[in-house]
Amino acid sequence: MPLFRRSFIAAAAAVATVACLPVHAQEAIKIGLVTALSGQSAKAGEAITRGLAVAIDEINAKGGLLGGRKLELVRRDDEGNPAKGVVAARELIFKEQVAVLFGGLDTPVSMAIVPIANQEKTPFMGPWAAGTPITKNGANPNFAFRVSAVDEIVNKAMLQYAQKTFKSAKPGMILVNNPWGESNEKGLTAALAAKNMKAVGIEKFEANDVDVVPQLTKLRAAGADALFMVGNVGPSAQVVKSLDRMSWKVPVVSHWGPAGGRFTELAGPNAKSVHFVQTYSFFGKQTPVGEKVMRALMAKYPDIKGADDVTPAVGVANAYDGMQLAALAISKAGSTKGDEVRQGFYKIDRYEGLIKTYVKPFSAQVHDAVSENDYVWAQFIDNRILPVGMN
């Protein structure tokens, strides 16, 4: 048989073999991410990206999902803007046809996206935004899941920490004036009421305020002995700078907003006085999963030389565990169909993750995998996020 004919037959056979493979075996399973990739919180968006990327690399190296389909990450920048988040989510759901949508660094963005995810039956996984109504959204069926802090649980932890660490008996609140602030006002008020306490004052500030002295002056006059602060990087920095201008040395117990970006640069030297909640730290002795993820981060990202460089750690950790749990849900479902993946989350029995070992983390009633027992407290020391007391 002439050589060219043998080559032709071999090529035709190869084409026929590929043609006979199920189409889905060749298609990537797309994972969507809508988050802030620019602006003051870009560091947090990049941390989420890295956590997802490391998990996806690991899953793909093991052969992918559903008979060899590889995962592919598709990102969009919402710039912290709910309207842009909605446009990005629609593009990822309708055009990219993602199997799972991760996103919403900011609670207002997440709360704008979740109704679309529920309507289109696309599982949504939150790796950052902590607003309680994101997962407790009243939808049935509910497609919103989360591996992150939850305001109503964090709020109990904030009160407990303020009482234990600073002996606070008369706390005040300084909260960003948006749905995230509202979620925390409700949660903190309920946490205080459960201990027969109430705030001496509740003050709000806008996300673009550059002076919060008037609000803080009212809280000082009311006798606040500690402040509960809720705001992302920029606004939280303005609170610290306003406290400096007033020379008011009051303990600040914060949600994790300051961890999301250039807080020390924007807030100045007293950034270190803010104690904030985290779900994970790469400092100290790590579990085998922690060691594995750290090695993968250092191999993939040249700027990561050690734990100092994984910042904010919660973005990496929440996204990594969220991706692994989403992959398990897809595997349990045996499908990428939205409603089947939603039910797949309920079938997860056990997963040894980065933050903790998850045992039946989701049910029809519980869509948050992280509880009040899974938080650590941290502060900025020389631009590093360290567990409190570890400096």
**pLDDT at res. 391:** 52
What lies within 8 Å, CB to CB, of 159 at 6+ separation is 171, 188, 191, 192, 195, 197, 228
**pLDDT at res. 311:** 82
Mean pLDDT value across the chain: 91
CATH fold of 152-278 reads Rossmann fold (3.40.50)
Q: How far apart are CA 217 and CA 139, in angstroms?
A: 41
Residue spans of the domains in the chain: they are 24-149+285-372, 152-278
Residue 18 has pLDDT above 50, yes or no: no
Taking the complete model, does pTM exceed 0.85, yes or no? no
Residue 327 has pLDDT above 90, yes or no: yes
User: 260-307, pLDDT tens digit by residue?
Assistant: 777 888 898 889 999 999 889 898 889 999 999 999 999 999 999 999
Q: How far apart are CA 213 and CA 388, in angstroms?
A: 27
User: 156-172, pLDDT tens digit by residue?
Assistant: 999 999 999 999 999 99
pLDDT confidence of 113, banded at 50, 70, 90? Answer: very high
24 and 266 Cβ atoms separated by less than 8 Å: no
User: Locate tokens 């007391």: which residue?
Assistant: 389
User: 182-232, pLDDT tens digit by residue?
Assistant: 999 999 999 999 999 999 999 999 988 999 999 999 999 999 999 999 998
User: 355-372, pLDDT tens digit by residue?
Assistant: 999 999 999 999 999 987
Other beta carbons less than 10 A from residue 280's beta carbon: 26
For the chain, what percent of residues have pLDDT higher than 90? 76
- What CATH code would you report for 24-149+285-372? 3.40.50.2300
Asked whether the domain spanning 152-278 has the same topology as the one spanning 24-149+285-372, the reply is yes
Token pair in block for residue 348: 């997860």
